[in-house]
Structure 1
Amino acid sequence: MALKINIDIKNISKLGKVLIAVLPGLVITVLVVMLVIIPKNKEIKELEKKIAEQENEIAKAQVKADKLGQLTFENERLKKRLDNLKRQLPEEKEVSSFLKQVSDLCLRSGLKVILWKPEGKRDHKSGIVYEIPVRVELSGDYHSLGYFFSNVTNLNRIVNISDIRLTDPKPERGKAILRITFLATTFSAVPEEELEKKRGAKK
């Protein structure tokens, strides 16, 4: 037998409503950073290091056919894994279309886009990706916002939602319409030639 829980939104304080709306977003942000971005960046670095080490071994093992075959197979396996990870980080030329996908998702979620302002890209501390933040301002109700956040987590690219603020609730057709602002940050892979330049500069 299903348990029915009835919550009268009118009896919830303004602070309670804000917490109800903000907490899911904050949890999503923390989970994305801890469970997705940091582990992926760490694994990408480790894979690139292993690939470089194995390519060096391959070069030394040209005369050892038995070892060469094994090393080549392992090297290709690691490269495929690296490619799969990088597909989740769009190239810079793909970022515009991806950001449009996020903007369209806002509209499909029933939110009105008031401001959509991409900021300049910046280096991520990992050194292997760029951060591309977008300052966003929306208008909509709690339900639409929750639906949007839920769908963001299902995108095949990484988007980090932070600095969430809900203000100016106004009643409209039985709903509280909020002014919603946040920073949406996606990531793009640093081109290989730029990584090579950075590696060369460190030597």
Structure 2
Amino acid sequence: MAADKKTPKKASGFNAFIDKKYIPLDNKIKIVIALALIIVPVALFYFLLYSPTDKQIQQLAKQKESLQAEIAKAKKAAAELSKIEADKAKTEELFKETATLLPKTKEIPALLRNISDLGKGAGLDFLSFKPGAEVPKDFYAEIPIDIQIDGPYHNMGYFLDQVSKLERIVTVDNIQMSGARKEGAEMLLKSSCRLKTYRFTGVQQQAPEQKGRRR
């Protein structure tokens, strides 16, 4: 008869404990009880401690990702804001520089006298010098000046060149020349043109309201 296999010491000790504590049981039942004693604590640990903690870790990971995304958005917005502020500062500086080139109301008469003096200094005779009504624009007003002058052709060119070099902005438009005649070595003619200077107002023009459609 074959010799019985030796039962491990730990298993025999457990069997002896069960048999002594309770009643002799079948080995299969003893194995089930042993497994239950091992599995139940592990299951309790998983469901009571590990599983909730794992869920919390996952939630915290999601919150971390969300916060990182918000931080990235905030950094991008801050960078864009810095650029906008820099552009705004440049625009304001350019606006101030441009505004200094536009005469204010009290400076207009002196500017007109300056233009008249340039013409006379160039040897031209003013036949007419008529400042027109202001034309409102965005942040400035346009002041037209219709002039008619008589004198040498080259002197006319010199006069217009000096006008273009004035500190304040003055433009020349619609130049017309007629009545050419020769006096000695000079070719004289009559010229007319419209000069335009500009006055700073700082007022933006509002677009006209559109009338409602008729039914």
Would the TM-score normalized by the shorter structure come out above 0.5?
A: yes
Equivalent of 2:181 in 170, 183, 193? 170
Structure 1 residues 161 and 69, CA gap change in structure 2 (3 angstroms): closer
Runs of 5+ unmatched residues, structure 2: 1-80, 210-215
Structure possessing the higher relative contact order (Cα contacts under 8 Å, 6 or more residues apart): 1
Equivalent of 2:140 in 109, 129, 152? 129
Shift of 1:173: 2.5
Shift of 1:71: 8.8
User: Which one-letter code corresponds to 1:118 in the other structure?
Assistant: P
**Correspondence for 2:5:** none
1:161 paired with 2:172, answer yes
Q: Separation in 1 of the partners of 2:135 and 2:87?
A: 34
Contact 2:115/2:163, CA 8 A, preserved across alignment = yes
Equivalent of 1:143 in 128, 145, 154? 154
Equivalent of 1:86 in 56, 80, 99? 99
Shift of 1:166: 0.8
Count of residue correspondences: 132
Shift of 1:70: 10
TM-score by length of 1: 0.55
Runs of 5+ unmatched residues, structure 1: 1-67
Amino-acid identity (%): 24
Shift of 1:113: 1.0
User: Which one-letter code corresponds to 2:200 in the other structure?
Assistant: A
Contact 2:129/2:146, CA 8 A, preserved across alignment = yes
User: Which one-letter code corresponds to 1:84 in the other structure?
Assistant: E
1:96 paired with 2:112, answer no
Q: Separation in 1 of the partners of 2:145 and 2:87?
A: 39
Q: Which of the pair has more CA radius of gyration?
A: 2
Shift of 1:106: 0.7
Paired residue secondary structure (1:107): helix
Q: Separation in 2 of the partners of 1:77 and 1:185?
A: 27
Paired residue secondary structure (2:154): helix
Shift of 1:183: 0.7
Q: Separation in 2 of the partners of 1:178 and 1:77?
A: 47
User: Which one-letter code corresponds to 2:96 in the other structure?
Assistant: D
Cα deviations by residue, 1:127-183 (Å, 9 ceiling, x for unpaired): 222110011010111110111122122111111111111111122122111111111
* Aligned residue runs from structure 1 range 28-107, under 5 A: 78-107=91-120
Structure 1 residues 111 and 70, CA gap change in structure 2 (3 angstroms): same
User: Which one-letter code corresponds to 1:137 in the other structure?
Assistant: Q
Contact 2:164/2:171, CA 8 A, preserved across alignment = no
TM-score by length of 2: 0.52
Q: Separation in 1 of the partners of 2:177 and 2:86?
A: 53
Paired residue secondary structure (1:120): coil
* Aligned residue runs from structure 1 range 191-202, under 5 A: 192=202, 194-195=203-204, 198=205
User: Which one-letter code corresponds to 2:136 in the other structure?
Assistant: D
**Correspondence for 2:127:** 114
Shift of 1:76: 5.7
